[in-house]
Structures are given as C-alpha cells and as structure tokens.
A and B are shown apart, each in its own frame.
Chain A
Amino acid sequence: MENPVYISLSRMVALQRQMDVVANNVANATSTGFKREHVMFSEYLQRPSMGERVSMVRDRATTRDMSPGPMSATSNPLDLAIRGKGYFVVDTLNGPHYTRAGRFQLDPKGQIVDNNGLPVLGTDMKPITLQNGANEVRIQGDGSVFTNLDPKTPVGKINVVTFDKEQQMSEVGSGLFLTDEKPQPAPKDTRLAQGVIEESNVQPVVEMTNMMNVLRQYQGIEKIIDSEHKSQQNMIQKLGRQA
C-alpha cells in the first residue's frame, strides 16, 4: 500500500543528489580544467510478493563528460593546456595524482609546480627544475622544456599520460584525479600548448535546463505523494464509515 510513496521518495532522493551535482557544475563553470558531471540513474527492482513488481530509482553513478573545454590564451609561459587526451602528473605525498589544469608556477628551487605547490613530473617521474638564472621558458608541443640558457638541450620533458578507464578515476578536489590504473604515455596526437589554459567544459545553458527539469520533476513527485496521501485518507474515511 505504501509502495507509491516509497517509489516517489526514491526519486526525490535521487533528484536531490542530481541537484547537488548540477550545483557543483554551475559553481565550477569557471574552474580551470574542470569536467562537468552528470548522474546516471538505474532501475532498482523489487518483488515484494508473487506477481508484483516495484521499480525504485537509484543514482548508480556520476559520470564525467571528458570532452575538452574551450582554450583560452593567457600568454603566461607556464600556463599549459593539453590538446587531445591526457593528464599532467603531479607528485603528492600519496603518490602521483593526475590533472588537466595546467596553471603552473615555479617554486623556490626552480621546480615547475602546480597551483598547490605540487611538483609537475617529467617523463622520468622526477620534478622538472630550471637552471639558475634562466629567464625564458619555452615548452614544445611534445612537452620538452627549454630555457634561454641552453636552447638546444631540454631541461626535462613534461609527462603527459592517458588511461583506458578514465571514468574510473576519482576526483580528490583542486582539479586532481586519482586512479590505481597504470598510466600509459599519451598518444602521438596529444600536444601541449604554451600560454594557454583549458577552461571548464560546463555549458551553462545545459546546467540551467537540467536544474529546471530537476525542480519540475521534484514538484511533480510531490504532487504524486500528495494525491496518494489524499486517496489513502479518502480510503480510510470511506472504509471507516462503513465499519
């Protein structure tokens, strides 16, 4: 008897989660390298008794839209964008993490570090350190880093890696991703662009329509619960009167 209410409630809870995901997308509409997320729902089948089927809904997963974000030129020598598939590797105390946000800087040791001061690793899995006194940095499409002191030999090569199962990477915030999968070198057509950053791939129009959709569905379900409540009330009143 209570099933209609429970089914509706499962949808309401799922919609609340969806609203959280939409809100996070909107909040990160201007975050460098952010990838928008959407919620995947699935049917949750219950057989309370013979011949009866009840389908609840549950949010099975949040998936990431891995399409590239728009590129915006900053003309900062240490701003890098990845054209094509791939991630930068940064070193943390908990092992390497991966990111698409290429807003890099230098630390006191002359190492290339990300926004949080984590060293950006080269293909040898070591931080890239610029020579003392270098005042111009040039980074080629393949990730080789040159300075004005020695325009022939690179001081290092920025590591760009890919993964087979990108959706299995988990987010840890600050634009960083984590995965147990072994990284593979990026495909040949992945190039780095210097002085450019990849913006968030959130499309505001899509998020706004999603949001309206969530709200209307939420209100619609409230109506279902409401009418279910009324019919139960009705039933109790009628049956009660006859008794």
Chain B
Amino acid sequence: MRSLAIGATGMQAQQLNVEVISNNIANSATNGFKAQRAEFQDLLYQNMRRIGSTSSDAGTIVPSGVQIGAGVRTASVYRIMSQGNLTVTENQLDIAVNGNGFFQIQLPTGETAYTRDGSFSLNPQGQIVTSNGYLLNPAITVPPNSQSITVSATGQVQAKIAGTVTPATVGQVTLAAFPNDAGLEATGDNLFLETPASGTAVTGNPGVQGFGSIVQGSLETSNVNVVQEITNLITAQRAYEMNSKVIKTTDEMMQTVGQMQ
C-alpha cells in the first residue's frame, strides 16, 4: 500500500520542520538572526486513470481522472528577512540598521560577507571589527586618543579627539542591499554571503533611498517571534502525529488483510 510510504515522507518532512523551528528558537537571542521556514511541495503523481482520456465511442472524455500523489518533499528552507527589534545598549560601537541593508564585513579570505549584527568593537590597531575580529568594510580606523565616537544616521563616523573642539570625521559606514535578501547564504557567525539567488549587492550610504538608517547605541535582535515558533512547533508536532497515524492505520488495514481466511 502506497499510504505507508506517503506517511513516511510526511513524517520526514515534519521532522525537518521541527529541526528548522528548533534552530530558530535556539537563536531567538542572537543579534541580527533572521528566522527560517521550511517550505514543502507535493511529490510526483501517478495516473491510475488519465484525465481527458476518452470514455466512450461517442467521444466523451473523463472529466477528472484518478491521480494518486506520492507524498511530500522539502522544496526549500528560506529565510524571513523582516526587521528585528532594536534594543538600546548605550554602547557607542553598537550600531543597528533601521530598514534595508547589511553591513559589509571583510573576511580573512578576502571575500565580503554581510551581516545585520552591528555589535562592533575596536581591535588593537583601532579598527572597527566584529565580535570575531573581522574588519568592517570600508575599514574605519579610530585614532587612539579619541574620547568618544559618534555614528550619524547617515553612517558618518566622527571621533572626538582629546584636546580638540570639533570632532574629526574618521570614516563612513556603507550598507549593501540585495534585490532578494532571502536568497543570501548563511555561513554561521551571523554572516551571509552573496549568491546568484540574492542578486548582486548594491552599496550605498545609509539613509539614502533604498537603504535604512543607522541607529547608534542600539542592536538589532533576532526577528524570531517565539510565540509564533511555539505555535509552529505545535503544528509540526501534530502533523507528525497525524502522519504516524496514517502509517498506523495502514498497518491495521494490512493486518486486517492478513487475518482474512
């Protein structure tokens, strides 16, 4: 009986769904994390009685045939790129993007990665780096004798240097935007890489059209809605149970056949 195998595909799919949901919940306190969703599609169909075949000599046709589906498969696990909440940290190098755009990070390999996690700090050379020590791109160096750093809404970084009155402009934070954010590839460490599905990065200053603005002293938390994840988890668990029920019912039907004399 096909329903046994069909039920199994359903259980596999829901298992993956639970895995995705658990990763979301595990990262619900990760800065700049974007929630993921598993996407399912029906598998191929078997035609037992083909639609549109002739059913009599008078040329009448079968209005709808017998098509039996073979179950479900995972089509994709995509990312929901909505804005996360901003929390105020009062740390002058915690910057968040309010709106569209990613910070560009120079990886040690020379590649550019993209992140929404704006918890930056300074390295011994005074450069602005991520919590992993990767350089912000374009690189910004803060003079060693500066007292405070200001990042404007448009991304201009100014440092107040001891003994001077007017703060000196030390750099400009630029953002990268993509036609399809959901197509970015996550590499862990809160970083994303450009893919053919995301489209090519367009860089620009914060605050101009198509880019969000910078909020200093704030961090973007994950966009995971825990309540929604828990309800999704319940749905996934119940769907899993239902599929196991399908298998059990099929088993009972086969048992019935086995008991026939």
Give the B-binding residues of A (Cβ under 8 A).
12, 15-17, 19-24, 26-32, 34, 37, 39-40, 59-64, 74-78, 101, 103, 105-108, 110, 115-116, 130, 132-137, 147-148, 165, 167-175, 180, 204, 207-208, 211-212, 214-215, 218-219, 222, 225-226, 229
Contacts and interface: CB of A to CB of B under 8 A. Distances in A.
A30 B20 CA distance: 14
Contact of A16 (B75, B239, B253): B253
A174 to B, nearest CB: 5
B183 A106 contact: yes
B80 to A, nearest CB: 6
13 contacts: A15-B253, A16-B3, A22-B246, A24-B69, A28-B72, A30-B40, A30-B239, A61-B63, A76-B80, A133-B200, A171-B69, A173-B44, A214-B253
Contact of A19 (B3, B50, B66): B3
A234 to B, nearest CB: 13
What class of interface size applies to chain B in its complex with A? 35 or more
B157 to A, nearest CB: 23
Contacts of A115: 39, 41, 75-76
Interface of B: 1-3, 6-7, 9-10, 13-14, 17, 37, 39-45, 47-52, 62-72, 75-76, 78, 80-82, 100, 177-180, 182-183, 196-200, 202, 209-210, 235-236, 238-239, 242-243, 245-246, 249-250, 252-253, 256-257, 259-261
A170 B64 CA distance: 8
A27 B243 contact: yes
Main secondary structure of the interface of A (DSSP, over half): mixed
A30 B235 contact: yes
B1 A132 contact: no
A219 B257 CA distance: 9
Given A115-B75, A135-B100, A170-B45, A78 B182 contact: yes
A168 B202 CA distance: 46
Contact of A59 (B66, B70, B198, B261): B66
